[in-house]
Amino acid sequence: MTGALHLARPEILALAPYAHAEWDPALVRLHANENPWRSEADRSRDGLNRYPEPQSSALIQRLACLYGVEPDRVLVGRGSDEGIDLLVRTFCAAGRDRVVVCPPTFAMYRFAADVQGAAVSEVPLDAARGFDLDVTALKAACDPTVKLVFLCSPNNPTGNRFPDDAVREVLDALAGRAIVVVDEAYVEFAEGPSLVDWLAAYPHLVILRTLSKAYGLAGARCGAVLAAADVIGLLRRVIPPYALSVQSIESVLDALHPDRLEAVRARVAAIRAERTRMLEGLARIPLVEQVWPSQANFLLVSSRDAGRLLQAGIRGGLLVRDVRRQPALERCLRITIGSPEQNDRLLESLGAA
């Protein structure tokens, strides 16, 4: 068995995909027990009375073009969260296999492992070095029971991106041993390109992308898993047949029309400019101890009284994220970059504290 399929659960390798109703839009559908009439409230193009195409070919083509990969390397699902869940269920057997996470990081990796009954090993980021990746400790943690390693880059909630050399060292060390999942939810806001071009060289590399952040489509719940074609084929056996609704598919296709992408790039540039302005403004607030540089659309802030700052934001009608329960972040808040008006209001509210 080539590539990374030997790492999958034997039950998944033997699993027969769910046989959904055949998809042929040229024929009248009397085979899927659907209602023949559309609701009066239905404003969709294709009709909410019909099931959507499983793994919409139009959407996959659009995402493949957007991310610069072949369509057979793309799986679409309900945000990055579904991709994380599918990977854990596909590669980790309950009570036997493990995943590795690098806290502080996105909590869904551990959550998905806990739901599956997979053990979790933690390799903390090095807070003294700006939450850098401890490659030596990570490699040492990866015994034969480890099937997945999750790297969030840029990392949530610290905002830093791991150096390419560090990620490459992890990939080289784990070739044939484990799947390395690089979550690039915030890569559009970062300096430097995605690692998508690495997929050809590393069959055990999986990249997660989402339309929730840079593309302003959090409510559409659309994300993508990018990986080798055989890995995508395996995940297609596990994902529910109608993962995305008709409305989500249509709204995403509209939002990703080539004529709209320049506006997306302009908004990303505006957020990056506001990120710089907010970093400087937050650093001048007396209660703020430190603001970490960020490659994402948020800033991590350490405060002498984080609770006081949190309440000051609420009094100003603004909610920021309390991350004090995460390791090494006992005095920290995570602040999303808003519009210039929202950012001004937040600086004023926090300064008044």
- Higher model confidence: residue 309 or residue 19? 309
The chain-wide mean pLDDT, for the chain, equals 96
Average pLDDT over residues 306-315: 96
Name the CATH superfamily, with its identifier, for domain 261-352. Answer: Aspartate Aminotransferase, domain 1 (3.90.1150.10)
Give per-residue burial for 92-109: e unless 16+ CB within 10 Å, then b.
Answer: bbeeebbbbbbbbbbebb
Domain 5-256, what architecture? Answer: 3-Layer(aba) Sandwich (3.40)
User: In this prediction, what percent of the chain has a pLDDT beyond 70?
Assistant: 99
List pLDDT tens digits, range 219-250.
999 999 999 999 999 999 999 989 999 999 99
Q: CA–CA separation, 227 vs 206, rounded Å?
A: 5
Indicate whether 156 pLDDT > 90.
yes
List pLDDT tens digits, range 52-68.
999 999 999 999 999 99
Q: Are strands 223-226 and 74-77 parallel, antiparallel or unpaired?
A: antiparallel
Q: How confident is the model at residue 3, as a pLDDT?
A: 79
192, 161 contact by CB (below 8 A): yes
List pLDDT tens digits, range 91-129.
999 999 999 999 999 999 999 999 999 999 999 999 999
Q: CA–CA separation, 74 vs 244, rounded Å?
A: 14
DSSP-assigned letter for residue 268? H
Give per-residue burial for 200-233: e unless 16+ CB within 10 Å, then b.
Answer: eebbbbbbbbbbbbbbebeebbbbbbbbbbebbe
Confidence at 25, pLDDT banded by 50, 70, 90: confident
List pLDDT tens digits, range 254-293.
999 999 999 999 999 999 999 999 999 999 999 999 999 9
Domain regions of the chain by residue span? 5-256, 261-352
Q: CA–CA separation, 4 vs 149, rounded Å?
A: 13
Q: How confident is the model at residue 2, as a pLDDT?
A: 52
Average pLDDT over residues 32-36: 91
pTM of the model: 0.95
List pLDDT tens digits, range 124-151.
999 999 999 999 999 999 999 999 999 9
DSSP-assigned letter for residue 260? G
List pLDDT tens digits, range 157-191.
999 999 999 999 999 999 999 999 999 999 999 99
Confidence at 348, pLDDT banded by 50, 70, 90: very high
Q: How confident is the model at residue 1, as a pLDDT?
A: 45
Q: How confident is the model at residue 86, as a pLDDT?
A: 98
Picking from 176, 178, 165, the residue whose alpha carbon sits closest to that of residue 101 is 178
Indicate whether 217 pLDDT > 70.
yes
What phi and psi values does residue 153 have, to the nearest 5 degrees? -145, 110
225, 208 contact by CB (below 8 A): yes
Indicate whether 16 pLDDT > 70.
yes
Which amino acid is residue 43, in one-letter code? Answer: R
What phi and psi values does residue 290 have, to the nearest 5 degrees? -155, 145
Cα angle 69, 74, 75 (rounded to 5 degrees) comes to: 170
Q: How confident is the model at residue 21, as a pLDDT?
A: 79
Cα angle 84, 88, 91 (rounded to 5 degrees) comes to: 135
Cis omega before residue 154 (within 30°)? yes
DSSP-assigned letter for residue 318? -
